[in-house]
Structure 1
Amino acid sequence: MALKYTVLGAGAMGLRYGVLLQEAGFDVDFVDTWEPQVKTIKQQNGVYVSRDGENRHLVPVNIYTPEEYTGNPDVYVVFSKQMLLADLLQRSAHFFKPHQYAVTGMNGMGHIEKLDQYFEPQKVIGGTALIGTVLNKAGDVDFIGAAGAGSMNLANQTEQPDETTNQIVADFQKANLNPTLTTNFLGTLLAKVIFNSVVNTICTLFEIQMGQFIAYPGAEKLGKQLINEAFDVCERADITFLNTRQQEWDTIEHVSRDTNPLHYPSMYQDMSKNRPTEVDYINGYIYELGKQSNYEASTHDFLRNLVHLAENTRQYR
């Protein structure tokens, strides 16, 4: 039997996942707490979708506020900002059921603990999405990269995939999201946190695209300093990685140079719209994790504070 999906958090990434699943033939609903998004999509009878700024067209979707929604999906696809997730889940709790799964590809760390308050660990699937998407404005989204560009890793929190997990992976593959299922939960999540701690933070501070970052001759030296520090932290926390330090850099280089060179990371998108960034859940998470082992990830802490400085000084522009 086909799985029914509901996207919790219909921002840039939530819309991309949901629209691609819908276009692959799956039944998809969307739930969001941002009123302009819900109102605009309802008025338009759908969301405008572009790819790399071209071929803008209207895709009909069903969207609701949490208070309006009464659906009963098999799987929630959760994409929220870390600081907004607790409110989204609390407002959505009235339609959660014991049989339902939650799949998340959110940036940073801190969301799994929040999901565990509502879903059984064996039904929580953590993901990392190397897929660029931009929300231009309410009801208008731009998919960055050619069709099929980008990829993601998925892992069950219990590291024991079941039949439903395998069906979700197959559905995501049909939707051209290029998933890979692993049995290393923390290693899977931390690989993306480290990726973001380099690309998102540096591109945000200098207001540049990923391709502009990787074109700088010193990009590798900058990136590897952050990667090495993050690996030192995680090794002290007994976290086993999916890849080596060199492979982590190779991924950053490939995505920045070949897959999404024109992409402004989500942290930059938040900063440019005067929204709080997720840097505390990315570089800040690495620093705080290091402190638990008496290790000072000082470069990550320095960058975290630079991002907060940049946030603060925008008021003077």
Structure 2
Amino acid sequence: MKYTVLGAGAMGLRLGVLLQEAGFDVDFVDTWEPEVNTIKEQGGVYVSRDGQGRHLVPVKIYFPEEYKGNPDAYIVFAKQMTLAEMLKRCSHFFTDKQYVVSGMNGMGHIEQFDQYFAKDKVIGGTALIGTVLNKPGDVDFIGKPGAGSMHFANQTEKPDETTHQIMDDFQKANLNPTLTTNFMGTLMSKIVFNSVVNTLCTMMKIPMGEFIQSPTAEKLSRQLINEAYDVCERANIKLLGTREDEWETVKFVSETGNPLHYPSMYQDFSKGRPTEVDYINGYIYDLGLKYHYEATTHDFLRNLVHLAEFAGNFDLAAYVERVQNS
């Protein structure tokens, strides 16, 4: 099969490069000019693994307006805040036969995919795979080859032949995919994971391995997990595992899977970019309100992240000058 990756950031590059190395035809499309221009100038993307072995991997990358490819499936890894623009700029090359596969963080993207693709062509998923975009055209794969895993489900919860082919291709690329028939449960399981690890590591500015060593890590994690599960039970969403399973996943991935990894939310926060907290902790809180339940810890953390974003971008000198001149 032929694949086109929409969003050549950290995760988009990792999946696309691994599929390409497994022998598949892969194109990349992005709207971020520094990324596209740098990769074009370099003739590819520099890839490292855990900071070692940096080497240039040739890839084909395009702006949406210049792309003329016709893939069997799109792999989408964009930020929730930028997805609408990405899809709109790419819509001229979408066809009714193409599939879309995504393991994006947060929730909100499925409704946007449904505006361009039939529901039986939408495959949603999750990715427990650590990757860092060091700078435009330079990506670091965290973990040994084969580290991490992915879960996918068709929006219709009815896998077809093409879905199974995509899963086979992902397996050949060493992405460890698992196909389920529980769409919302699959997506929400990662939301719960991210609502713990991404948000707490971002607030404390620490990697996952340091977070999990804290004597308060388990208490904080279980509090957030319990609230999220309370919401899902009220929304009639059956998650892939139990509350205990979710805690064990947080513990294993933080201790063993990616102990040196700073989650993607921190990567955005540290670079002064908006985070996806509204689509993670905020999504859990807002979903709970629909069922007359307040996930107050999730809302508190969402507001703390926004306060930290504001403080990080606050111009103190300009503020002092305004006060002195008032």
Is 1:158 the counterpart of 2:160? The answer is no
Match of 1:299 in 2: 297
The Cα offsets for residues 215-242 of structure 1, whole Å up to 9 and x where unpaired, read as: 1122111100000000000100000111
Measure, in 2, the Cα distance between the counterparts of 1:56 and 1:28.
21
2: CA distance, partners of 1:230 / 1:304: 14
CA distance in 1, matches of 2:254, 2:114: 33
Cα drift, residue 286 of structure 1: 0.2
SS in structure 2 of the partner of residue 181 of structure 1:
strand
Give the corresponding residue for 1:15.
Answer: 13
Tell me which residue corresponds to 2:55: 57
The letter of the residue matching 2:179 is L
- 1:229-308, aligned counterparts within 5 Å? 229-308=227-306
Q: Tell me the SS of whatever aligns to 1:98.
A: coil
The correspondence for 1:182, drawn from 152, 159, 180, is 180
Tell me how many residue pairs correspond in the alignment.
315
In structure 2, C-alpha distance between the alignment counterparts of 1:9 and 1:276, rounded to whole Å? 17
Q: Structure 2: how far apart are the matches of 1:109 and 1:316?
A: 28
Alignment partner, residue 103 of structure 1: 101
* Alignment of 1:201 onto 2:163: no
User: Partner letter of residue 59 of structure 2?
Assistant: V
CA distance in 1 between partners of 2:156 and 2:238 (Å): 15
2:4 is matched with which residue? Answer: 6
How far apart are residue 315 of structure 1 and its match?
Answer: 2.1
Q: Give the CA deviation at 1:86.
A: 0.3
TM superposition shift of 1:65: 0.4
Q: Secondary structure at the match of 2:41?
A: helix
C-alpha displacement of 1:316: 3.9
Q: Distance in 1 between matches of 2:85 and 2:55?
A: 32
Instruction: State the one-letter code of the partner of 1:67.
Output: E
**Alignment partners' CA distance in 2, 1:65 and 1:116:** 23
2:87 aligned to which of 82, 86, 89: 89
Runs of 4 or more above 6 Å deviation:
none
- Find the counterpart in structure 1 of residue 127 from structure 2: 129
Write the mapping of 1:58-73 to structure 2, written as runs, cut at 5 A.
Answer: 58-73=56-71
Instruction: Tell me the secondary structure at the aligned position of residue 159 of structure 2.
Output: coil
Deviation of 1:173 (Å): 0.3
Partner of 1:113: 111
Structure-2 separation of matches of 1:116 and 1:154: 17
Q: Secondary structure at the residue paired with 1:80?
A: coil
Give the aligned CA root-mean-square deviation in angstroms. 0.6
Query: In the TM superposition, what is the alpha-carbon distance from 1:109 to its structure 2 partner?
Result: 0.3
Instruction: Name which one, 1 or 2, has greater alpha-carbon Rg.
Output: 2
Secondary structure, in 3 states, of the residue corresponding to 2:147?
A: coil
* Distance in 2 between residues matched to 1:272 and 1:67, nearest whole Å: 31
Q: For residues 132-183 of structure 1, what are the alpha-carbon distances to aligned partners after superposition, in whole Å with 9 as ceiling and x for unaligned?
A: 0000000000000000000010000000000000000000000000000000
- The alpha carbon displacement at 1:271 in A equals 0.3
Give the alignment's TM-score, normalised by structure 1. 0.99
Alignment partners' CA distance in 2, 1:148 and 1:159: 27
Report the TM-score when normalising by structure 2.
0.96
Q: Residue 118 of structure 1: CA displacement?
A: 0.4
Identity %: 74
SS at match of 1:135: strand
Question: Is 1:43 aligned with 2:52?
Answer: no
